[in-house]
């Protein structure tokens, strides 16, 4: 099991949100994908606004979530749905795609 928790080349965990997600590392991995543009903004009182899109079209979806971790998980979900061919999604384990 120890090998399964190693950090991948992008900085995110190999198991993403399903096991021991480090939200900061996953956000960095999303930010490093050239096909995806993401941001997380802190709104106060624990609320965050997450945005995902691409360079050509700008932000396509915006979500307001109750925590930073929830915002990153939302971004992961939207990346899988909207950008299945992206480098980030292709590097996720098969179970998470």
pTM for this one?
0.74
**pLDDT at residue 21, rounded to an integer:** 58
Percent of the chain with pLDDT over 70: 74
Q: What is the CATH number of domain 2-96?
A: 3.30.70
Residues of the chain under the 50 pLDDT cut? 1-20, 95, 97
Q: How many other C-beta atoms can be found within 10 angstroms of the C-beta atom of residue 52?
A: 24
**pLDDT at residue 96, rounded to an integer:** 56
**Domain residue extents for the chain:** 2-96
Q: CA 86, CA 35: separation in Å to the nearest integer?
A: 6
List pLDDT tens digits, range 51-71: 999 988 889 999 999 999 999
**pLDDT at residue 7, rounded to an integer:** 31
Q: CA 50, CA 40: separation in Å to the nearest integer?
A: 4
């Amino acid at each position: 099991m120890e090998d399964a928790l190693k950090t991948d080349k992008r900085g995110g965990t190999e198991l993403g949100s399903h096991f021991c997600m480090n939200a900061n590392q996953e956000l960095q991995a999303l930010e490093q994908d050239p096909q995806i543009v993401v941001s997380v903004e802190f709104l106060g009182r624990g609320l965050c606004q997450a945005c995902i899109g691409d360079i050509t079209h700008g932000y396509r979806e915006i979500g307001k979530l109750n925590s930073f971790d929830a915002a990153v998980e939302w971004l992961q979900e939207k990346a899988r749905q909207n950008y299945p061919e992206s480098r980030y999604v292709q590097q996720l384990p098969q179970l998470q795609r």
